[in-house]
Amino acid sequence: MKRRICLQALASTGIEAMDSAHGANETSLRIGLTPVILADQVAFLSRWGSYLSERTASRVTFVARESYQPILDMLFSDQLDAAWICGYPFVRYESQLSLLCVPLYLGEPSYQAYLIRPKGTANGIGGWDDLRDKVLAYSDPLSNSGWLVAQAQLAKVGISPGELKRTFFAHGHRNVAQAVASRLANAGSIDGYVWETMRKQGMAAISQTEIVWKSEEFGFPPLVTRRGADQPALARVQQAMISMASDKAGQELLRTLNLTGFTNGKSAMFDSIRAQAKMVSGSGVPA
């Protein structure tokens, strides 16, 4: 418990994973992200930062925050050089962002959203149309699978947000799974990649939840930069990311992330998120 609290504190205060051996005169690049689904997050980010630093002749560090908005604020205010965000904020702020690269999950730059419920319970939830008067857990207000998908699906079945008993943001997909497992919520809207990765890692919350619905394919959460940020160091980071699947050290890091690689991103990868956002009132994406 003490170790878990320590990791959460590090993530929330933005402590960086870094290789102290790099000199002060080298280019420094900061990449923002929300907490990843790892027991050894700080140690992993240190290894990943060292890996990228060695291959880019730059000092690459990672900065974690609990949600997407602080990461975007830091990116737009030049406190970060790049960020690993979600496809929803990408389409929402696309005029200000450029794609750096997109992860490959099971060999494809895509994933699905899941609706989950506590395992083995007769709570009557078999889909979105069963959520009236129930408690639903979201991940983040800027998450596609953890908010936007839920709004679209609830509207599709004719349930307004006011007809739910209660909703809350768990601030992270891992926390959504834990909230549903502990029955703080009757159901949760979650990233399928996260749920499957937690299952692969044997996390307890997954053995206590089950999937009741899967979405269409969406563009995988991308790494982005500010539009116009074309410094050579970012191009080297992009190439290093895309080359990770080609060497042993990179493959080991990818296995830990449950990814198969990275690829060049294209705006069209996020068309399904873009179309969905245009149908959701308050999404910030014009219809």
Residue-wise pLDDT for 213-262, tens only, equals: 999 999 999 999 999 887 899 999 999 999 999 999 999 999 999 999 99
Lowest-confidence segment of 76-85, 121-130, 131-140 by average pLDDT: 121-130
Residue 14: strand, helix, or coil: coil
Contact, 111 vs 222, CB < 8 A? no
- Average pLDDT on 152-165 reads 94
**Contacts with 61 (C-beta within 8 Å, 6 or more apart), sequence order:** 16, 17, 18, 28, 29, 30, 31, 49
Of all residues in the chain, what percent carry a pLDDT higher than 90?
A: 81
Query: At residue 269, does pLDDT exceed 70?
Result: yes
- Residue 42 sits at the vertex; the CA angle it makes with 39 and 48, to the nearest 5 degrees, is 105
- pLDDT of residue 8 exceeding 50, the answer is no
Task: Report DSSP state, residue 66.
Answer: S
- Stretch 185-207: mean pLDDT, rounded? 95
Examine the pLDDT at 7 and tell me if it is beyond 70.
Answer: no
Whether 17 shows a pLDDT value over 60: the answer reads no
Give the Cα separation of 10 and 100 in Å (integer).
26
Confidence label for 48 from pLDDT (cuts 50, 70 and 90): very high
- Binning pLDDT at 50, 70 and 90, where does residue 71 land? very high
Each residue of 72-121: pLDDT tens digit? 999 999 999 999 999 999 999 999 999 999 999 999 999 999 999 999 87
pLDDT band at 196 (very low <50, low <70, confident <90, very high): very high
Can 2-109+220-273 and 113-215 be said to share one CATH topology? yes
113-215 placed in CATH 3.40.50.1380 = no
**Residue extents of the structural domains in the chain:** 2-109+220-273, 113-215
* 230 contacts 80 by C-beta, under 8 angstroms: no
Q: What distance in Å separates the CA atoms of residue 188 and residue 205, rounded to the nearest whole number?
A: 12
Give the model's pLDDT for residue 39: 61
Give, in order, the Cα–Cα distances in Å from 115 to each of 86, 131, 169: 18, 11, 15
- CA dist., res. 47 & res. 183, Å (int): 36
Mean pLDDT score of the chain: 89
DSSP single-letter state for residue 105: B
Which pLDDT belongs to residue 228? 86
Is the sign of the CA dihedral 56, 61, 67, 73 positive or negative?
Answer: negative
181 token code pair: 């497992």
Lowest mean pLDDT among 4-8, 141-145, 201-205: 4-8
pLDDT band at 49 (very low <50, low <70, confident <90, very high): very high
- SS3 of 131-196: the string is CCCCEEEECCCCCHHHHHHHHHHHHHCCCCHHHCCEEEECCCHHHHHHHHHCCCCCEEEEEHHHHH
pLDDT at 27: 85
pLDDT at position 24 over 90: no
Residue whose token pair is 């280019």? 27
The one-letter amino acid code at 282 reads G
Where does the pLDDT of residue 122 fall: very low under 50, low under 70, confident under 90, or very high at 90 and above?
low
* Residue range 2-109+220-273, CATH number: 3.40.190.10
Residue 60 confidence (pLDDT) above 90: yes
